[in-house]
Structure 1
């Protein structure tokens, strides 16, 4: 339409095939008859291949599950809850604790890191107050002990963005490096951690490709803050969320995206959870927002302890890394334990809690939530002395644990149901989870068939940049949820 003269010249120009054929004939390399026969033979071959393809070829879902993928299978939507055998003997965990909290003789460690290692050793030995980073360390080290590689790349991943991981230690005199996780057992697999550049698309693309080649390695990409993932959005849209459906290519990639509203402003609060949930369908990936180190431990190990591989998008904590309540016991990671897609109220399951809940029939409201906001709700409920509101955590947002929600919420058929989140109304989990919750409430014949929303109002930006406004919003939605 716009370049008619150019197209006229192209149409009148001899093709490459014609020019080359005439050259071969002119030089006596081939006769015109031989050229015509070669062209006809190739055309016949193309026609035969086309007919074979049109004739009803159907891809075999397992036709590429060989080599390193041997023994794995495509997931079945109707199969079991996929817990996997993720628990580890307590004695093994304690042995790991002893190995990762010491350094070689003569290694001059920073005194702050020395205290860090001493506190970690004490927590593992006593089996109490296991924090987030220690739960992660036990997951990584138990995996390499079992012969599977662990690979983690991201911005400041060796130390951890929030100075929580310290998986590589530095001599304070000569800057020599020591990686404790590579010294837990004689025949262990390798733990590899890499500080990457601020080039999210390139690094995430490499790690995604790595998972296709190494399905038996735990491969993770970590954003410095969760919203840094937007620099790699094309990888999530075109590959991670849909490669199994488009190309029968499974991936066990784990994306660690720090997420949580703590007044740090619009660029450091949200990992854009809603975007990942919007992409969820047809059992394509897993999205979770865990609240305990034990659940984090299990969900990491679960990636390798099943016969299937699915991408895992994890909202990871910031302030919860050092929150006094966000701790676990060692026996919650021991043999026979597993990942919980839904976690019950700590006031019901933990000993020595101030809040003593009334019996199920007298619970007037159930607040469902996910992630850090649970601890805001828990502390505010305790402060108010409320005993008839139940807090239920949805740790795995997709696939939605429908059967478990039916089972748990059937205890509270007469209660009002509220979904509480710290993200604005147009973000977070609300618009994704609401129809699922409505289905559950109808299944149990609940008095209130639709959940109510409690959280920040809709917003153009992910979060406010003013701490005073952040705290005012927090106070307002806690009143909306608990009042």
Structure 2
């Protein structure tokens, strides 16, 4: 027999009451739950061997009024307890959230006193602890308090949180105050002033720049007092840094009224009078970021940073989180108490974009925790032209956040004092539990997607209701006038002062002597630069050989009693032999020595990615795990007492979220080595938005530099289409103006010098590394320790193995295929063919390439050889760059045929193709 829906709802509510307090349910139900546990719930569960008969009766008979007397008092308490719990669970459904007053769902029956047979008991008293922090109340008073708490302008979702202590903390905070915050007159005037600032700014823009896109905040102006209150509250809690991430809607208003960006600078950007200085660079005004210092009412200071953001909306979320994590790490804030991330979302984007889920999932992970993020959803109840019924399968836009153990507060944006309450509650929750918290700010969008759009084409009823609405400022002002907290003259003075300021700023923006101001590289970035690669000198990246040996031996030192996996003994013994010079270094040793040499010299290192501790290909083993206890040990963290921090984290199965986080981290840690490693290079395309919109273009669009390193395993070894290509061609296509570096190193010494060069040079550009798979253990892909002690990264590696006078053909290549070509040459005995490795594909130095080619006769042809199909890899890039002649020499290319898929899925077919490629390279 299955449970019917009405009985199921009742049993679920009763079970939750039992979990909170076993004495709150009858003896029969207590025995039932103790016997069956959660298996007694749910329509899919069969009837258990023991159950009270009432389980299978309809709800009214369950709730039938009991007899009078002591037993009836207990029964009354039990029925009221169920009602209270259901208000906590479902009261948000009846909350008055929509400022447009659109039709809403009917009241759930479990919020009706009649559902529990309480109609005749409304004046009876119940236990003092029915509502926390109150005395004895009548049933009617209990219901009134519940409705005030959960069904007015705030709807709270928190009963999905498993932790009873957290739920009780929230219940106490909300129910004792009926979810209202008592504000002083000064606080009310401040809210009105910030609303006025928001409203007047939007009105001014619409009047002075008719029809120009600004992505107005009109309809959602309560965001400005919300942020004002949040900053003040955070400052009082000891927060020193706040990093904001938001999309374009309302961004100009936030820049002017929260970030403190001069309105005249914004107006100048509207006028677009400096076109010549923006040729090929810059971004639209509603994508720009800003930073400033905010002085709180208590005379404290909070540094504000608004991240630059493209139109790809939610992808800024992990970037902002990464920036804050870097700021916290820089000052040693391991408790995550001095910084706050505030992410401002749109309703359609929050529920619709997968990167939101990826970012939420980072919130409690050790490598990405920032102490809790404040999420604010500016709920316009529409996305472009799409309404909620077509945009989500859930009730709320915020429902994705229920994956976390955090509260979600829905609030009517036209009740500014309710907004003040949820801000206060949200930030107290965050401080108490160091978790994320969500505010779903219900408002509307006065215009279409932009100011030139006609929204009534697709949403006639919604926009009919919007046009009838008066603004939130007007409504709040009327309330304060009625309360006698302000006079009309006071309100007019606030508005007039703001209009006068904006008029003066507009005049200044249009003055002939106006000089645009930019936030130049300063503070952390004062000693770093972007610009052209050729203008920045190379640096010595060598490291004392004796010290390198010591650092490599230190990889084999473990705490007393530590037992590494026995299968790792051969690897560990090999590292000792490498340290003593008995055998050359493999790739893992060269890479680990780069990290070790940096941290012992004071440079922090952070590496994250899927399986990065061990390495996808079981090469790195930066952490070893005790086979008896399972505890990890990272030798790189125990090299010297005064070494810089080194962090290596296995990331969640995420590309966009994690890469965005590391990019953000690199923005605030220019003096550290920050690395993201893909499990396979192919998987980087799942983070293409971060690559295209941030990494490749950030300097040109926003004057923002990053030294982020991307390790992308690449190479054709017969592992199939998704485990061969890191899409080298896509990165090269994005290259221009020395915006980033694309390299394909082939030796341990090369990766050692490359990683050290990345931080020792003052030049900060993203570094994209086609890193190896099979070369990790290739017997020829090794380096002596002396190659790390001396020299530097070689952009081009010439061929010392042949006599230049005999060479009639030069094979130019990059990466793994070099070793295949070298083996083919040796087998064929072809000493008339030279093989040159192009290790740095961009920026490509023709001078360095010319030096590598110089020993050979200029009549010798140069043939580019690549594993990738003709429409992939570097060939198209080189063909465009050089045409049919390479520095005066005949130039052609050799590759697999053009293909839609990077590689075959057959290992046998791969071998046939590879051998054909090698044969063709040496064919006359």
- TM-score between the two structures when normalised by the length of structure 2: 0.48
Contact 1:127-1:331 at 8 Å conserved across structures: no
Q: Deviations over 1:271-326 (max 9, x none)?
A: 11111111111111111110111011000011110112111111110100010110
Q: CA deviation at 1:29?
A: 4.1
Match of residue 73, structure 1, among 529, 534, 546: 529
Equivalent residue runs for 1:14-25 within 5 Å:
14-25=470-481
Q: How many residues align?
A: 464
Structure 1 residues 89 and 216: CA distance shift in structure 2, 3 A: same
Tell me the SS of whatever aligns to 2:723.
coil
Structure 1 residues 293 and 42: CA distance shift in structure 2, 3 A: same
Tell me the SS of whatever aligns to 2:567.
helix
Contact 2:659-2:676 at 8 Å conserved across structures: yes
Separation of aligned partners in 2, 1:137 and 1:346: 28
Separation of aligned partners in 2, 1:306 and 1:51: 44
Range 23-32 or range 273-282, more displaced: 23-32
Tell me the SS of whatever aligns to 1:328.
coil
Q: CA deviation at 1:107?
A: 1.8
Q: Deviations over 1:202-236 (max 9, x none)?
A: 11111111111221111111111111111211111
Contact 1:200-1:232 at 8 Å conserved across structures: yes
Match of 1:279 in 2: 734
Match of residue 880, structure 2, among 415, 430, 435: 435
Radius of gyration: which is bigger?
2
Match of 2:900 in 1: 460
Structure 1 residues 51 and 307: CA distance shift in structure 2, 3 A: farther
Separation of aligned partners in 2, 1:205 and 1:17: 37
Separation of aligned partners in 1, 2:816 and 2:472: 65
Match of 2:803 in 1: 358
Match of 2:248 in 1: none
Contact 2:803-2:831 at 8 Å conserved across structures: yes
Q: Does 1:411 align with 2:866?
A: no
Q: CA deviation at 1:85?
A: 2.1
Match of 1:214 in 2: 669
Match of 2:466 in 1: 10
Q: Does 1:402 align with 2:850?
A: no
Q: Does 1:43 align with 2:496?
A: no
Tell me the SS of whatever aligns to 2:899.
coil
Q: Does 1:445 align with 2:888?
A: yes
Match of 1:423 in 2: 868
Structure 1 residues 423 and 96: CA distance shift in structure 2, 3 A: same
Range 473-482 or range 282-291, more displaced: 473-482
Q: CA deviation at 1:245?
A: 1.5
Tell me the SS of whatever aligns to 1:303.
helix
Separation of aligned partners in 2, 1:71 and 1:366: 42
Q: Does 1:200 align with 2:660?
A: no
Q: Does 1:182 align with 2:637?
A: yes
Q: CA deviation at 1:377?
A: 0.6
Range 147-156 or range 19-28, more displaced: 19-28
Separation of aligned partners in 2, 1:83 and 1:64: 21
What is the root-mean-square deviation of aligned Cα atoms in Å?
Answer: 2.0
Tell me the SS of whatever aligns to 2:789.
coil
- TM-score between the two structures when normalised by the length of structure 1: 0.91
Match of 1:480 in 2: 920
Tell me the SS of whatever aligns to 2:718.
coil
Separation of aligned partners in 1, 2:462 and 2:535: 60
Separation of aligned partners in 2, 1:273 and 1:228: 12
Q: Does 1:103 align with 2:537?
A: no
Contact 1:405-1:440 at 8 Å conserved across structures: no
Q: CA deviation at 1:46?
A: 2.2
Contact 2:610-2:653 at 8 Å conserved across structures: yes
Separation of aligned partners in 2, 1:124 and 1:440: 45
Unaligned 5+ segments in structure 2 are 1-456
Match of 1:350 in 2: none
Structure 1 residues 242 and 98: CA distance shift in structure 2, 3 A: same
